[in-house]
Structures are given as C-alpha cells and as structure tokens.
Amino acid sequence: MDPDASYDINSNDSDPMPRDNGDNKHGTRCAGEVAAVAFNQYCGVGVAYNASIGGVRMLDGTVNDAVEAKALGLNPDHIDIYSASWGPEDDGSTVDGPGPLARRAFIFGVTSGRQGKGSIFIWASGNGGRYTDSCNCDGYTNSIFTLSISSATQGGYKPWYLEECSSTLATTYSSGTPGHDKSVATVDMDGSLRPDRICTVEHTGTSASAPLAAGITALALEANPSLTWRDMQYLVVLTSRSEPLEKEPGWILNGVKRKVSHKFGYGLMDAGAMVSLAEQWTSVPSQHICKSREINEDRPIEVSVGYTLQTHMDVNGCAGTVNEVRFLEHVQCKITLRFFPRGNLRILLTSPMGTTSTLLFERPRDITKSNFDDWPFLSVHFWGERAEGRWTLQILNGGPRRVSQPGILSKWQLIFYGTQTNPIRLKSEGTRSGAAAAGYAAGLNPFVFPTETDQQSGSLGASGNYFQSDLYSNFMNYPNLFSAAGSSIDKTVATLNGHNIPTAQRENVMADSNNKLVVLHDCDPECDQQGCYGKGPTQCVACKHYRLDNTCVSRCPPRSFPNQGGVCWPCHESCETCAGAGQDSCLTCAPAHLYVTDLAVCLQVCPEGYYENYDNRTCVPCEANCASCQDRPDYCTSCDHHLVMHEHRCYAACPKNTYETEDYK
C-alpha cells in the first residue's frame, strides 16, 4: 500500500484499512484488479502489477461534498489515476452530481495535477439498468473530466445492470447473468489472510469494470509518462474495439466513420493497442472551449404521447477567435426545462455531420416534479467531428405516464470542447522504443498517423498542413483513422492547390487551367452528374439517390427514412417503417410494440388511459372519464381523481340511492 496515495477521510488518519464487517470489501476487490502483484500465491495478477496503489476510506461514514473533494484532491502530484466505483443512487429517478468543492477538485486535478499534465479520473458508469436509469443523470460520469467506463458480459453482451448514455467512453468486461456468466476474479478482504478466503471470483458490476480500465491506463502511462488527461481519452477513443461487442444492437457510425454505442461507448478497451499508441503519442494541442449563445425562449413540450419538440442552432465553432474549435472532443448541451413526469422525456442532439446522440432516455421511475436546471448533458459521440453548422435538439414525450399539463423548454446552450488544429501527431519512427518499432515493422500497426518527421520534412506538401482543407480533412478522407485496430491506411499523399489527396485517388483527380480541383465522371452508378473523387459509392461528390453513412445508396435500408437532404436517418426505435425521426412518425410498429391509435405512436406498453386490443396489437383510448379501463373503452377500472366509480363507470358524484366509499374513488 502506497502511504502517499492513501488516507482515511472518515476517521481523519493515515490508515485507510476498512472495518472487517463484511460490507467493506468493495475497495479491496477493486484494488486487486488494478495492482495485485505478479506471481503472488493467493489470487490473480493485477492488470498493472508494477503500479503502486493506495486506498482512500471515504464511504464508510458521512459522505458529503467536502469528503468527496478531499478524496478527489488527495496528493495530486503523486497520484496519477483516481479510480472511482461509486456515485449517486442508481434508482432511475435521481439527478445528482458533484457539489462545488468536488467540482473544484476535478478542475484543479486536470489543470494542475501530475505537475500540470492532469489527474486521470476513471469512473464506473453505474448499475441502474434494472431501473432504466441513465448515466447522463449522474454528474460524475456525465463530466468531461472523467473517463466513464461501462461493462460487457464475457459473451460480449449488455449486462442487466448497464445504464445507457452518451457520456460513456469505453467498456471493459465484468459480470453478467448470475449462474450463467462469470464474474471478475480478484483479491478479497479477509483479516485472517487465509489463502482459501483471500481470493474471490464474484466481483461484479461496473464497479469491477472501472478498475480494469484504471489498470489499462496505468500501463499506457508506464509506456509514456508524459501523457496528459486528454491524451488518455484520445488513446481510449482511438484504440477501443467495437467488434467484440457488435452482437449487441445499437451501434451507430458517427461523422468520422467511428462506431459508437450508448451502451459501450467506443467499444472494448484494448491494452496492447493503447500501450503501442502511447509509445508514439505526442500530446494534443491545448483545449479550446467554444460556447454558443444561450437560447432563452420558452417552447412548450406538449402533453400528447409521442410529441416531439424540435429546435436548432447554427454555430460557427467560434471561428476566427482564440476559442475556435474545429476538431471536437466533448459536447455539452446545457438544458433548462420543466416537465412532469420528467422521466417521460427523451432528448436527442444531432450534429451538422448527421450524428444523432441520445442525451437522455426515458426513465419510467422518474416521476418527480423536479426540473432540469442548466443540466450539462454530455456526449462523446461527436469526437473528431466539426463543430460548425446546424445542431438540432429534439425533446420527445416518449414515456407511458399520462401528462396533465405541457412542459416548458426555457433555455439551452451548446458548449464545444476540442482543438483548432489536428490533434493527432505521432513521434517519428526513430524515437519509438525498440519493442514498439519491432511490432510495427511486423505489420501490427493499428494506426498510421502524421508524424513529427512527416511535418518537418515537408513530405505532406507545400502547405505543410496535414489535411487542413475541409474537402480532404483528416477525418473525412481517412475514415479508418478512428477505426479499430487492424486497419491499414495509406499515408502517402500528393498536393494539388493546397489539397492533400491520397495516392489511390490521384488518377481520378485532375486540375483545370486555373489549377482548381476537377473530378472525373467514370463513377459508381449511385453518384450523380457531379462526378466523384475515386472509385466506389463512398467517393461520390453527391448522390443520385440517397446517402447512408457517407455511402451513396439506391434506397434507405429498413427502419430508416430519407430526410429532406437525401440522407438516410434511422427511424425511432419503436418504428418498423417511418416518415420521420420522431416517435410520432411511425407508419408501422417494430416487433413487440403496440400502435396507439389516436396518437399514431408505437409503445411497448399501453399508456395510462388506454387498453390493449390483443387482436390487432393496438392501444385504444378509454372514454374521457376513465383513468384506466379494460377490454373496452367504457369499462373503467379507475377514475380521474375528482370522479367516483359506479358499476365500472365514472361520475362526478354518486348516482341516486348510492353513497361514496373509500374503495372506489
């Protein structure tokens, strides 16, 4: 145990040893995953077995803002990585986050910790899946300062406890269904140190995933101690793999051709790829923060199920200012709204490059009258995209609970975090370690990026700027840049009028007398008359029919529709076919969904005030006075609160010759 990384905040002393009462094994188990020593005689080896590790006792007593701040700010020039498997209640209704002192500790950590390189905070995304909780309502995981980690079962599936949200960055393995999937093996707490009791194979939940991620990040730091807190997030985004988890639905392709998921972030963390990339990594440019204007305009959120409020904002990414953001990292959407019940709402944000990220899923247990007050919903799904353009916000009343009065969206604002210049710069071959160079020579290079040597030699063309133009940007012409390990990228380029053109496309690109780009017209049949930059439906200047993930197609695939710009957008998940993105745009329903006849929406369960017609799989409204009914509209099973029931009908007052009881109101 590293004494400089340890403290007992609950008892205010230097010994963090937990009380041996059976309830305090959590931290010990997490510590074993990270740093259990190699060749020990008791249990498994830690991911980063060369790392020193400390413990902070903080949850075995009163937990408040001051306690959290002290834990998060402990010895930040000595501690590199803080691994946290705790947070607000995962009950499906809580919206809570760090207080002012803890927020200050986060900010101090990333700006001043590790001698200015920034503390690295690893956070478990939460175990509220059984309550349909959202980790975007957890202010610790919903933070740009934390690396939020989700879980996958040994088979690569979503575990029952997983929370879906847009702030999850990546995933590691953990437990699954009891009796079916294995859990995590690690050191256990036992005061007698008996060999048969000091190891467990029952560590579970996202609590077990975050320490695995902490161990992997420790390996990356061992390979390159100069990594900053933002460098580490880039390494995770670039090396995490979607393939082992693609059996689970819900993956989308963002605007820079990177697969991302609300369940798993950018995929399963890959320790080998992270270490290899860390060895050749050069720190990213300074972080720019661009804030849009606040839109302070009351917009109603109507009571009808499936109603969608849609609004948009045109931004320039603070172009021409010191805050300009051209390459996105984090995007926050700060929202102030009032709606009851709050858990009915689904909130979506769509970028100028067409990526739609769900900032909030419906939370059926959130039936409070609380508002969202400047809540900064975070998405990491736009990583690498451009900020400039039109951003669209959609707020759907998608929950099953009846709404008595309209809600109000009163304010929203976008905050963009990223860089003005291309953030990815790798060290030249000569500066890598022998082991890394050997691995790359053997063809194991998962990424080929611009290097310091490339920039200094001018091999990237007269402009000296690697893919600086919008047309041939780093993220657009190299779709595999943000792909999983195993991709092969040709970095040889030619320069024409300031544009860098991949070798494979040179023969298809010509210059006219004014040295402007001209395209050839021997193109894929799905390209329109404007031509193409190269072979195949992904190289069209514009599409003849429709565009799907930067590929021209003759028709949109099932469960999608063409928007006004000819881009295939996904239908709402409840729709089998649709005319738009909203839940109220379904033409037919997805399997296991019911069609609500008067609202034209598809739901898995009929909302209050409706009954299910089993013959045609529809939800039929009860008559006006019934709060609920069964089998037919006029067979009431409950009444609105101001009415009374008699013979399964609802009345304003008891009929003649009857009296009111407590049983039927």
The answer to whether the CB of 624 falls within 8 A of the CB of 596 is: no
**Superfamily of segment(s) 3-269:** Peptidase S8/S53 domain (3.40.50.200)
The answer to whether the CB of 54 falls within 8 A of the CB of 4 is: yes
Least trusted range by pLDDT, from 135-139, 192-196, 254-258: 192-196
Q: What is the CA radius of gyration of the chain?
A: 27
Instruction: Give me the pLDDT at residue 520, please.
Output: 63
Helix (H, G, I), strand (E, B) or coil at 399: coil
C-beta neighbour count of 624 within 10 angstroms: 9
Measured CA distances, 6 to 50, 62, 78, 651 (Å):
17, 18, 11, 67
Least trusted range by pLDDT, from 143-152, 426-435, 591-600: 426-435
Domain with CATH 2.60.120.260 in the chain: 288-419
**Arithmetic mean of pLDDT, 342-371:** 94
According to DSSP, the β-strands at 372-379 and 649-651 are unpaired
Least trusted range by pLDDT, from 370-379, 441-450, 466-475, 515-524: 466-475
Q: Is residue 488 scored above 70 in pLDDT?
A: no
Q: Which of 49, 99, 258 is nearest to 169 (CA)?
A: 258
Instruction: Give me the pLDDT at residue 191, please.
Output: 56
Write out pLDDT tens, residues 46-61: 999 999 999 999 998 8
pLDDT band at 607; cut points 50, 70, 90: confident
**Arithmetic mean of pLDDT, 467-473:** 29
Average pLDDT over the chain, rounded to an integer: 84
**Arithmetic mean of pLDDT, 380-394:** 98
Instruction: Give me the pLDDT at residue 182, please.
Output: 93
Instruction: Give me the pLDDT at residue 192, please.
Output: 59
Write out pLDDT tens, residues 273-310: 999 999 999 999 999 999 999 999 999 999 999 999 99
Percentage of residues in the chain having pLDDT higher than 90 = 58
Domain with CATH 3.40.50.200 in the chain: 3-269
Instruction: Give me the pLDDT at residue 495, please.
Output: 28
- The fold of the 288-419 domain, in CATH, is Jelly Rolls (2.60.120)
Least trusted range by pLDDT, from 206-210, 310-314, 506-510, 604-608: 506-510
- E-strand ranges in 535-664 read 546-548, 551-553, 560-562, 568-570, 575-578, 586-589, 594-596, 601-603, 610-613, 618-621, 626-629, 636-639, 644-646, 649-651
Q: Is residue 225 scored above 70 in pLDDT?
A: yes
Q: Is residue 456 scored above 60 in pLDDT?
A: no
Instruction: Give me the pLDDT at residue 112, please.
Output: 97
HEC profile of 420-464? CCCCCEECCHHHCCHHHHHHHHCCCCCCCCCEHHHHHHCCCCCCC
Instruction: Give me the pLDDT at residue 465, please.
Output: 31
Instruction: Give me the pLDDT at residue 22, please.
Output: 64
Measured CA distances, 190 to 19, 58, 474 (Å):
11, 20, 53
Would residue 257 be called left, alpha or beta, if left means φ above 0 and alpha means ψ between -120 and 50 degrees?
A: left
**Arithmetic mean of pLDDT, 232-258:** 97
**Arithmetic mean of pLDDT, 151-158:** 96
Measured CA distances, 421 to 315, 413, 473, 510 (Å):
18, 24, 11, 28
pLDDT band at 379; cut points 50, 70, 90: very high
Higher-pLDDT residue of 575 and 314 is 314
Measured CA distances, 198 to 195, 205, 250 (Å):
5, 20, 39
Q: Is residue 464 scored above 60 in pLDDT?
A: no
Helix (H, G, I), strand (E, B) or coil at 628: strand
**Arithmetic mean of pLDDT, 250-265:** 97
